[in-house]
Amino acid sequence: MIPAKLNFGCARRDGALFLFLRSGGRGCLRRIFVDRTVSEFGQIDTLVKNAAFQIERSPLADAGEEEWDKTFDINAGLAFQLPRLAAPHMPRGFG
C-alpha cells in the first residue's frame, strides 16, 4: 500500500477506493503519487483536483512572495501538472 509518510492517503467508500495527495504535494511528490498509484492499481480511472489555497491578507499587497508561490502552485500548478502526469495512465475518454 502507499506509505503515509509520503503525504498520501486512501479511503474506501461504497466499494470505491479513493487516493489523495494531502495539501496538493509539490513537484516530484506529484509524480511519485501517480507512479505509485499506477504501480499498485494498474491505472487511474478518475482524477479529481479538489485542492485550493487562498491568501488571507488585506490588502493583498501585504502577502509575501512565499504565500503567492504556494497559492499559485496549488491553484494553478496542481490543476495543470497532476492531470498531465495522470493522463497517460487513464482510459481514453470521450472525444
Domain ranges of the chain: 4-89
Pair 21, 30: CB distance under 8 Å? yes
Q: Look at residue 36 and tell me whether its pLDDT is greater than 50.
A: yes
For the residues 22-50, what does the mean pLDDT come to? 78
Q: What average pLDDT does this structure show over 44-64?
A: 79
Check residues 36 and 10 and name the one with the higher pLDDT: 36
Q: Which residues contact 5 (CB under 8 A, 6 or more apart)?
A: none
Is residue 92 very low, low, confident or very high in pLDDT (cuts 50, 70, 90)? Answer: confident
Q: What percent of the chain has pLDDT over 70?
A: 77
Q: Which fold has domain 4-89?
A: Rossmann fold (3.40.50)
